[in-house]
Amino acid sequence: MAQQHGNGHSVQHHVAPVIHYVGVWLLLMLLTGLTVAVATVDFGGSLNTVVALAVAGVKATAVIWIFMEVRHAQPLTKLSVITGIFFLVILLVFTFGDYFGRSTTFTPLEEGWRSDGPHSVGTVPELEPKPAHAPAKGPAKH
């Protein structure tokens, strides 16, 4: 894919009509209005962020696809855009994986484990390593 040297010197590069650019500009203006409108509605909890990011994502894709001419670009350029975003997602997912994983605070009470985090792990048989002598019961917290 690197070797399709153009025949001779000229660079074939088809130039998009102006209407494409103005069209995208209008789309972006609309989406900005939508961003503000969407922010006034309470979708409850974390859904607000998801919706806000989705609208911003659409705007960003429009800019990338048309303004930055990725639609005419080689597959390699498309791949590099996706790789960049993919590794950013890796950073976010694994970092938050750690933080969300922590919220399941285990309280090994009598009836087995009860997690207080948003997602309950359910009852897991009590793992009781045999201390030499079991003194009086008392809540031990992680």
**CA 126 – CA 140 distance, rounded (Å):** 13
Site for another protein in 6-35 (CB under 8 A): 6, 8-11, 13, 15-16, 18, 21-22, 24-25, 28-29, 32, 35
How many other β-carbons are positioned within 10 Å of the β-carbon of residue 66? 19
CB of 87 to another protein, least distance (A): 5
Q: Which is nearer to another protein, 100 or 123 (CB)?
A: 100
CB 103 within 8 A of CB 118: yes
The helix/strand count (H/E) of the chain reads as 3, 2
**Of all helices (H) and strands (E), which one includes residue 113?**
strand 112-115
Q: Which is nearer to another protein, 118 or 122 (CB)?
A: 118
Angle at 69 between CA 79 and CA 62, to 5 degrees: 85
Can residue 133 be called a binding residue for another protein (CB under 8 A)? yes
**CA 78 – CA 71 distance, rounded (Å):** 8
Near another protein by CB under 8 A: residue from 50, 83, 112, 123: 83
Q: Which is nearer to another protein, 122 or 133 (CB)?
A: 133
Residues 101-130, mask of contacts with another protein (x by CB under 8 A): xx-xxxxx-------x-x--------xxx-
Site for another protein in 48-77 (CB under 8 A): 48, 52-53, 55-56, 59-60, 63-64, 66-69, 73-74, 76-77
CB of 44 to another protein, least distance (A): 9
CB 105 within 8 A of CB 135: no
